[in-house]
Amino acid sequence: MSEPTGTPVPKTEGLGVAEERVKIGSDPLALPTKGQLRLYRTVRVALLGVSKLWFRVEVHGREHVPDGEAFILAPVHRSNIDFLLSLWAMDNTRMRYLAKDTLWKGAWGKLWSALGAIPVHRGTPDRDALKTCIGVIKNGEPLVIFPEGTRQQGPEVQPLFDGPAYVQGRTGARIVPVGIGGSQTAMPKGAKFIKPHKVVLVVGEPLEPPRKGDSGRVPRSAVRDQTLRLHTVLQDLFDEAQQRAGTPNSH
């Protein structure tokens, strides 16, 4: 069962992710090659086609996604398929997203990099990953951060990490909150197989960045306030998405 409701205390600055750090061969800030973009778009089309048939995906509020600018997509996280489902909120632009760095241990590392993944060291607030996220936004690429960190369970959005608000404060990028309903039923935590089930994404209005302080930076208190605001918005979007997916939340 999730933690009690009420005003959540934001988790410490970071991305919410101790293991031995894995060395990544490629530069995560390198712009994609033409071949990588072709691969990404091919994989994207295939995944969207399969998920449309398997999950009968609906997207509401797609018009809230900024066009022609970098932004931070911040979805709730209840299933491993949420990475795939986040594609439905995006256009054909390659999205960047965080993935545990242990995925780069084998031969698949180059594939994850080509598909836009950013390695994050699990177990501690990864400042290198935060710097990469900031660089990604400054490169003009959209970024996906699950503010709850790892997959969660239950109807309540868990206390959020400050990562999205921190990156926003350093870049000025807008945060786009997304509720995903039905994904936990389709593939709950620990499940080995995916069940066909209706999935609904509800995209909220972008959250504008807080004002900078006299120092020229967004104060830590403003970052935490933004995290609390994001939590409230995400809970409403998650409730609506669950209702539309036929799996209403019960707090």
Give the length of the chain: 251
User: 36-45: long-range contacts at Cβ-Cβ below 8 A with a sequence spacing of 24 or more?
Assistant: 36/94, 36/114, 37/94, 39/114, 39/115, 40/94, 40/114, 40/115, 40/116, 41/92, 41/94, 43/115, 44/87, 44/92
Q: Quick check: helix, strand or coil at residue 111? A: helix
Identify whether 226 is part of a domain. Answer: yes
Identify whether 27 is part of a domain. Answer: no
Residue-wise pLDDT tens digits, 45-72: 999 999 999 999 999 999 999 998 999 9
- Quick check: 144 and 129 in contact, CB under 8 A? no
Identify whether 192 is part of a domain. Answer: yes
Identify whether 37 is part of a domain. Answer: no
pLDDT value for 121:
76
Identify whether 250 is part of a domain. Answer: no
pLDDT value for 9:
46
Domain of 117? 59-245
Identify whether 201 is part of a domain. Answer: yes
How far apart are the C-alpha atoms of 14 and 123, rounded to whole Å? 11
Instruction: Kindly tell me if the per-residue pLDDT of 26 is higher than 80.
Output: no
Query: E strands within 61-184?
Result: 71-75, 96-100, 117-120, 143-144, 174-181
Mean pLDDT value across the chain = 88
Identity of the residue numbered 38: R
pLDDT value for 147:
94
- The CATH number covering residue 207 comes to 3.40.1130.10
* Average pLDDT estimate for 116-129: 78
Instruction: Kindly tell me if the per-residue pLDDT of 17 is higher than 60.
Output: no
pLDDT value for 22:
52
> pLDDT band at residue 127, thresholds of 50, 70 and 90?
confident
* Average pLDDT estimate for 235-243: 98
206 vs 192, which has greater pLDDT?
206
- Quick check: 180 and 89 in contact, CB under 8 A? no
Domain count, the chain: 1
Identify whether 40 is part of a domain. Answer: no
pLDDT value for 3:
37
* Tally of CA atoms within 13 A in the half-sphere of 15 that contains its CB: 26
* Average pLDDT estimate for 165-184: 97
Residue-wise pLDDT tens digits, 76-98: 999 999 999 999 998 889 999 98
Instruction: Kindly tell me if the per-residue pLDDT of 180 is higher than 60.
Output: yes
Identify whether 160 is part of a domain. Answer: yes
pLDDT value for 216:
83
- % of the chain with per-residue pLDDT over 70: 88
pLDDT value for 15:
62
Looking at the DSSP bridge assignments, the partners of residue 176 are 73
Going by DSSP bridges, is the β-strand pair 58-60/96-100 parallel, antiparallel, or unpaired? Answer: unpaired
* Average pLDDT estimate for 223-240: 98
> pLDDT band at residue 100, thresholds of 50, 70 and 90?
confident
Q: Return the residue matching tokens 């048939």.
A: 53
User: Cβ contacts of residue 87 below 8 Å, gap of 6+?
Assistant: 44, 47, 48, 51, 95
Radius of gyration of the chain (CA): 17
Q: How is residue 59 written in tokens?
A: 């997207």
